[in-house]
């Protein structure tokens, strides 16, 4: 951006929605980002900051003077302010916090003390809570006069003098009740309050299970400390799904804005794990060098057995990992699912045994070779099913994330079993 | 359930939340499900029906008399009623619809006419719309007297006489405004209305982008036809993520309640695609039978080259497929991402070339073999990066789902290139 373009850029961006403004900032070069934000000055929409991609966001926040960041934080809802602060380093955090008024500072500091990815980090602390003996009229008058209300809210919470949560009253119920009605009379006590330390994945599950649009957050003593709304849950679900997909593909923790070096480093360790797997498989093959020398067709066909096992194992594993993540697989149905996977593995094993036996027979004109590859196929597809279901279940039982490590273990099993069954049977047949 | 247990079962289940009741129904045997629902009679919570797993739900609905289903539908919000009806076959649908009162029947029929997975199917048609000249007081009085209001709502819509959407007024703004204020004065026109025919994936993206808790749905003429809330979006996001994960694992369209036969059939076709890939790779190997006969160590090492390529390709592909799904990858950054992936592929290729060259040298005592596998590794990891990024981008450009087919194509490339580069170079070296 040239100096003389600034005014025009300013005019063009003033009316943008924060999400669109964020997109614009992302495509600019680093210098231009700071120039644009400086040009917008007080009119810069703070709401655009949480919409920025993580890497860009941290860079923009570092380039902004702490005073301006502090002002921006005050414009934002408390959950978004926490979201901006949590990734900054300790020093920058304190620099910015020190510029905030007392109450905002205390509130943000308290939120930052909750564990990462917990309900306490996600929640919005601006909310409306009233005592049970207030009337609907009193509550409405209070809302008309209060100046520091949250921007959006969908219910009023009812609390006792010690701020213990009694229940909530959706706004539509307040609107439909007569002014003298006591809040106590219309309060809904069948909520699902969320403990403040619970992980965001569990929070999302509660929202999904009970189709909630918002939920109160309580501390261990049952005191109301915040509220979480469904729009935040949409982001959590998307984020958790991305984490699982990337972990299963061996690219956990990556982002689209990582540099070549970061990406290379992140992928390297996964590829090392895979290299070890592949070498184990090669060692198995090396036991049978003499057999392969006797009949080189074995070298041609052996990757087929391993590859089919790898794919069948990945199929079973994918279903198991996803079902564990969505809690559709658990102790209640594990036995039934294991049985089903074994049966499917055996059936597909038999089908592909016949197909491959025929292919091998017609290709190499040897019925013995057909029989060998057929039996190896059944064995490996059955092993693939067992590994595909038992490895994720085992990792989950050990409280490890099945999405991350299942793949390496499953393909190790299918490679080793595949090469061993095929070459071993061939050695027996040729002997 | 024995006859004498029915009363007790009834007593135990009456107070359950619908989500918990649904879980209970799912674990029962088919006969017991019908018995329990019959025992609960009018007190059966219709809201439990949409919570049931698809297979169980369809079976329960078929076992219930159409009159009871029709009654249950009237208890539900319109979006849930549509959700229950849409999977039933045409005949059952009409049977049930014919038992409904006129207005409910027409509304449901209209919703069912929208394409599957569209905003029209997701939306809730019960909503409150008022003319712009109404006062806040009139609106509140109307809500107090109306009997057919939706169970939950968060805003009032303002429409012109032809029902064209003008804007919305969040309930909290109504509560905080004086009774004589005209709705026109407090209406918010900066919404993001959703066209009724838009796909649910796009709806979810809008909600995420603009952090919405609810959004109006409009027909092609801009008339208000429904409203979508964020709790439905949570389910859509979860569903779309599951679809992508399962598609990438070669198990698209599967469910935890499928039988052994269904599962075998669904997986069979994916395994056939993989078998063809594996046979292509074997044909490549067969070109070099003479070379392998000359040096059987090649058969031992060749799966390593193919496997490393397959994993590196899967890494790139996973990042690309997920980024396409979340719209983090598009024309704006495709060139940069392609360049980054190629650079990462080349770098990791060089690293693993050195590692494998050393391993092969020390294992088989041949520096020629080390050089051959090193060069083959660089070639294959670079090919893996190219295939991993270009294949998903290409499928996406052709409007095909990159999550479904990318895997087969990428591993075909890495297998063929891996075996060809390694065995071809070995043949040149040995000649």
Average pLDDT value for residue range B22-41: 79
In this structure, the number of other CB atoms found within 10 A of the CB of residue B65 comes to 12
Q: Residue A7 pLDDT more than 80?
A: no
Average pLDDT value for residue range A116-139: 91
Using an 8 Å Cβ cutoff, are B419 and B387 in contact?
no
For the segment A223-236, what is each residue's pLDDT rounded down to a tens digit?
999 999 888 888 88
Contact B172 A343 (CB under 8 A): no
CATH number, position B170: 3.10.580.10
- Residue B267 sits at the chain A interface (C-beta within 8 Å): yes
The ipTM assigned to this model is: 0.81
What is the percentage of chain B residues whose pLDDT exceeds 90? 45
CATH number, position B64: 1.25.60
Among chain A residues, the shortest Cα distance to B245 is held by A245
Closest Cβ opposite residue A230 in set B172, B213, B351: B213
For residue A32, the Cα-to-chain-centroid distance in whole angstroms is 32
Same domain, yes or no, for A278 and A419? yes
Average pLDDT value for residue range B37-65: 81
Q: Is residue B255 domain-resident?
A: no
Closest Cβ opposite residue B274 in set A170, A254, A308: A308
Among chain A residues, the shortest Cα distance to B274 is held by A308
Binned at pLDDT 50, 70 and 90, residue A101 comes out as: confident
d(CA B11, CA B15): 8
Q: What are the beta bridge partners of residue B215?
A: B228
Same domain, yes or no, for B241 and B271? no
For the segment B199-214, what is each residue's pLDDT rounded down to a tens digit?
998 999 888 888 888 8
* Angle at B373 (CA atoms; ends B372, B375), nearest 5 degrees: 70
Same domain, yes or no, for B82 and B143? no
CATH number, position A12: 1.25.60.10
Q: Residue B189 pLDDT more than 70?
A: yes
* Residue among A391, A410, A389 nearest A400 (CA): A391
Average pLDDT value for residue range B420-428: 96
Helix, strand, coil % over all residues of chain A, rounded to 5: 70, 10, 25
Cβ neighbours for B28, distance < 8 A, ≥ 6 positions apart: B1, B36
| Domain end call among B248, B270, B295 | B248
Q: Is residue A246 domain-resident?
A: no
Three-state SS at A18:
helix
- Residue B188 sits at the chain A interface (C-beta within 8 Å): no
Average pLDDT value for residue range B300-325: 93
Helix (H) or strand (E) holding A156: strand A155-159
Distance from the Cα of B321 to chain A's closest Cα (Å) equals 10
Binned at pLDDT 50, 70 and 90, residue B163 comes out as: very high
Q: Hey, which of B8-12, B110-114, B248-252, B302-306 has the most confident mean pLDDT? A: B302-306
Distance from the Cα of B277 to chain A's closest Cα (Å) equals 9
d(CA B121, CA B200): 9
- A vs B, Cβ pairs < 8 A, gives 314
Same domain, yes or no, for B45 and B96? yes
Closest Cβ opposite residue B231 in set A211, A241, A415: A211
Q: Residue A423 pLDDT more than 90?
A: yes
Among chain B residues, the shortest Cα distance to A341 is held by B260
- Residue B412 sits at the chain A interface (C-beta within 8 Å): no
Give me the pLDDT at residue A3, please.
Answer: 59
Binned at pLDDT 50, 70 and 90, residue A80 comes out as: confident
d(CA A29, CA A13): 16
Closest Cβ opposite residue B296 in set A250, A292, A352: A292
Average pLDDT value for residue range A284-305: 94
Q: What is the DSSP code string of A218-245?
A: E-TTSBEEEEEEHHHHHHHHHHHHHHHH
| Domain end call among B50, B85, B113 | B113
d(CA B416, CA B403): 22
Same domain, yes or no, for B88 and B191? no
Closest Cβ opposite residue A332 in set B27, B267, B318: B27
- Residue A300 sits at the chain B interface (C-beta within 8 Å): yes
Binned at pLDDT 50, 70 and 90, residue A70 comes out as: confident
Interface test with B, best of A303, A408, A420 (most B CBs within 10 A): A303
How many domains is chain B built from?
A: 3
d(CA A119, CA A226): 9
* Residue among A405, A414, A388 nearest A250 (CA): A405
Give me the pLDDT at residue B180, please.
Answer: 92
Q: Residue A254 pLDDT more than 70?
A: yes
Interface test with B, best of A79, A155, A234, A418 (most B CBs within 10 A): A234
Closest Cβ opposite residue B303 in set A140, A264, A306: A306
Helix (H) or strand (E) holding A214: strand A214-218
For the segment A194-204, what is each residue's pLDDT rounded down to a tens digit?
999 999 989 99
Q: Residue B1 pLDDT more than 70?
A: no
Average pLDDT value for residue range A124-153: 86
Quick one: tokens of B148?
């057919």
Same domain, yes or no, for B103 and B134? no
Q: Which domain holds residue B285?
A: 260-430
Q: Is residue B393 domain-resident?
A: yes
Same domain, yes or no, for A210 and A352? no
Contact B282 A300 (CB under 8 A): yes
Give me the pLDDT at residue A4, please.
Answer: 63
> What is the residue-averaged pLDDT of chain B?
88
Higher pLDDT, A36 or B246: B246
Same domain, yes or no, for A414 and A271? yes
Same domain, yes or no, for B294 and B362? yes
Contact B178 A144 (CB under 8 A): yes
Q: Is residue A120 domain-resident?
A: no
Give me the pLDDT at residue B11, please.
Answer: 74
Using an 8 Å Cβ cutoff, are A165 and A157 in contact?
yes
Q: Is residue A190 domain-resident?
A: yes
Q: What are the beta bridge partners of residue B144?
A: none
- Residue A380 sits at the chain B interface (C-beta within 8 Å): no
- Residue A348 sits at the chain B interface (C-beta within 8 Å): yes
Give me the pLDDT at residue B4, please.
Answer: 62
Same domain, yes or no, for A350 and A421? yes
Distance from the Cα of A91 to chain B's closest Cα (Å) equals 30
What is the percentage of chain A residues whose pLDDT exceeds 70? 99
Same domain, yes or no, for A166 and A99? no
Cβ neighbours for B411, distance < 8 A, ≥ 6 positions apart: A307, B274, B277, B310, B313, B314
Pairing of strands A214-218, A224-229: antiparallel
Q: Is residue B120 domain-resident?
A: no
Q: Is residue A249 domain-resident?
A: no
Backbone angles phi, psi at A151, to 5 degrees: -65, -45
Q: Residue A2 pLDDT more than 60?
A: no
Contact list in B for residue A326 (CB cut-off 8 A) is 238, 242
Q: Give the CA-trace dihedral at B388, B394, B399, B402, to 10 degrees.
A: -10
Q: Is residue B124 domain-resident?
A: no
**What residue has token string 């409910």?**
B104
Average pLDDT value for residue range A316-326: 91
CATH number, position B356: 1.10.357.20
Give me the pLDDT at residue B84, please.
Answer: 84
d(CA A199, CA A188): 25
Distance from the Cα of B91 to chain A's closest Cα (Å) equals 30
Cβ-based burial of B48 (10 A; exposed 0-12, middle 13-18, buried ≥19): buried
* Residue among B405, B136, B96, B261 nearest A344 (CA): B261
- Residue B127 sits at the chain A interface (C-beta within 8 Å): no
| Domain end call among B226, B248, B270 | B248
* Residue among B346, B380, B391 nearest B248 (CA): B391
Average pLDDT value for residue range B95-121: 87
Here the contacts of A358-364 (C-beta below 8 Å, separation 24 or greater) are A359/B279, A360/A301, A364/A297
Q: Residue B2 pLDDT more than 70?
A: no
Binned at pLDDT 50, 70 and 90, residue B63 comes out as: confident
Give me the pLDDT at residue B223, please.
Answer: 93
Q: What is the DSSP letter of A362?
A: H
Average pLDDT value for residue range B169-181: 89
Give me the pLDDT at residue B57, please.
Answer: 84
Cβ-based burial of A30 (10 A; exposed 0-12, middle 13-18, buried ≥19): exposed
Same domain, yes or no, for B315 and B389? yes
Q: Give the CA-trace dihedral at A255, A259, A263, A264, to 10 degrees.
A: 180
d(CA A177, CA A185): 10
Q: Give the CA-trace dihedral at A12, A14, A20, A23, to 10 degrees.
A: 70
Among chain A residues, the shortest Cα distance to B236 is held by A234
- Residue A405 sits at the chain B interface (C-beta within 8 Å): no
Distance from the Cα of B105 to chain A's closest Cα (Å) equals 25
Q: What is the DSSP code string of B272-320?
A: HHHHHHHHHHHHHHHTTHHHHHH-THHHHHHHHHHHHHHHHHHHHHHHH
Q: Residue A386 pLDDT more than 70?
A: yes
**What residue has token string 């909520």?**
A191
């Amino acid at each position: 951006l040239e100096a003389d373009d600034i005014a025009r850029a300013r005019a063009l961006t003033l009316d943008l929605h924060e999400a669109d403004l964020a997109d614009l900032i992302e495509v600019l070069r680093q210098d231009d980002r700071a120039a644009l934000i400086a040009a917008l000055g007080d009119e810069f929409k703070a709401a655009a900051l949480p919409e920025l991609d993580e890497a860009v966001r941290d860079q923009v926040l570092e380039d902004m003077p702490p005073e301006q960041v502090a002002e921006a934080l005050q414009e934002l809802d408390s959950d978004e302010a926490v979201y901006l602060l949590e990734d900054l380093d300790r020093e920058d955090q304190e620099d910015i916090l020190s510029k905030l008024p007392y109450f905002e500072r205390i509130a943000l500091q308290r939120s930052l003390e909750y564990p990462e990815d917990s309900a306490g980090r996600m929640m919005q602390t601006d909310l409306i809570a009233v005592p049970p003996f207030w009337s609907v009229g009193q509550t409405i008058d209070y809302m008309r006069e209060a100046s520091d209300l949250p921007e959006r809210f969908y219910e009023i919470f009812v609390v006792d003098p010690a701020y213990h949560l009694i229940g909530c009253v959706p706004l539509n119920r307040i609107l439909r009740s007569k002014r003298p009605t006591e809040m106590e009379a219309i309060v809904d006590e069948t909520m699902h309050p969320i403990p403040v330390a619970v992980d965001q994945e569990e929070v999302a599950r509660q929202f999904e299970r009970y189709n909630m649009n918002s939920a109160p957050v309580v501390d261990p003593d049952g005191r109301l400390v915040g509220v979480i709304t469904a729009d935040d849950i949409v982001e959590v679900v998307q984020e958790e799904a991305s984490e699982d997909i990337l972990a299963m593909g061996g690219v956990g923790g990556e982002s689209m804005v990582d540099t070549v070096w970061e990406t290379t480093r992140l992928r390297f360790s996964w590829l090392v794990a895979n290299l070890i797997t592949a070498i184990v498989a090669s060692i198995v093959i090396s036991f049978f060098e003499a057999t392969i020398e006797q009949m080189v067709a074995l070298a041609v066909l052996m990757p087929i057995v391993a590859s089919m096992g790898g794919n069948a194992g990945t199929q079973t594993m994918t279903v198991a990992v996803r079902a564990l993540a969505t809690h559709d697989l658990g102790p209640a149905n594990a036995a039934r699912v294991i049985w089903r996977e074994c049966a499917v593995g055996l059936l597909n094993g038999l089908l592909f045994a016949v197909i491959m036996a025929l292919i091998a027979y017609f290709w190499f004109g040897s019925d013995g070779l057909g029989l060998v590859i057929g039996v190896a196929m059944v064995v490996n597809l059955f092993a693939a099913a067992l590994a595909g279901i038992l490895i994720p279940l085992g990792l989950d039982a050990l409280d490890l994330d099945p999405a991350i490590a299942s793949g390496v273990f499953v393909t190790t099993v299918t490679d080793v079993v595949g090469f061993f069954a095929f070459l071993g049977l061939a050695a027996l047949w040729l002997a």
